[in-house]
Amino acid sequence: MELIDILKGVELFRGLSTEQLSRLAAISHSETYPADAVIFSQGSPGDKMYVIARGEIEVRFQDHKGVAHSAIYLGAGQLFGEMALLDQGERSASVIAVQDGTEVYAISSHDFLALCQADTALGFIMMRNMALDLSFKLRHRNLDPATGL
């Protein structure tokens, strides 16, 4: 499947034209991980966000006592790593590939923000969609007793 076809199936890119999707595809880089590979670690600097093309990842975090918790699993079409990209803070959790051959598309903060500034219509749509994705995750969190809320 072509990258643009994959991007069309991701809510983050909903509302973008084919030309805008092509520009995004040009700054997206495929990365493939084996099961149990660490994609990034809690506390590390965050300079990329990721879209899952295939497979599944687990989000884990350590609380202030150093106890590890599994927070959520994310599958195809989902976005992760966007918090550090938006607020430029360190990674709030670790992300581990669950399945062999988990494929993600990485978009660097520098390239993404440059594209949003060059095409402000694209930037508006992407920021709106990122806000909607974070809203969906919050709704999930509110419903999930595993979060301890």
Q: Smallest distance from the beta carbon of 140 to other proteins, in angstroms?
A: 4
Query: Kind of pairing, strands 102-108 and 28-33?
Result: antiparallel
Question: Taken in order 133, 135, 136, 142, is the CA torsion positive or negative?
Answer: positive
Q: What is the CA radius of gyration of the chain?
A: 15
* 3-state helix, strand and coil shares in percent for the chain, rounded to the nearest 5: 40, 30, 30
The correct pick among 70, 90, 100, 118 for binding other proteins (CB under 8 A) is 70
Q: Smallest distance from the beta carbon of 113 to other proteins, in angstroms?
A: 25
Does residue number 124 form part of the binding site for other proteins (CB under 8 A)?
A: no
Q: Which residues pair with 65 in a beta bridge?
A: none
How many angstroms separate the CA atoms of 79 and 115, rounded? 18
Q: Smallest distance from the beta carbon of 46 to other proteins, in angstroms?
A: 20
Site for other proteins in 31-60 (CB under 8 A): 56, 58
Does residue number 134 form part of the binding site for other proteins (CB under 8 A)?
A: no
Q: Smallest distance from the beta carbon of 24 to other proteins, in angstroms?
A: 17
Q: Which residues of the chain form contacts with other proteins (CB under 8 A)?
A: 9-11, 14-15, 56, 58, 70-78, 98, 136-137, 139-140, 143-148
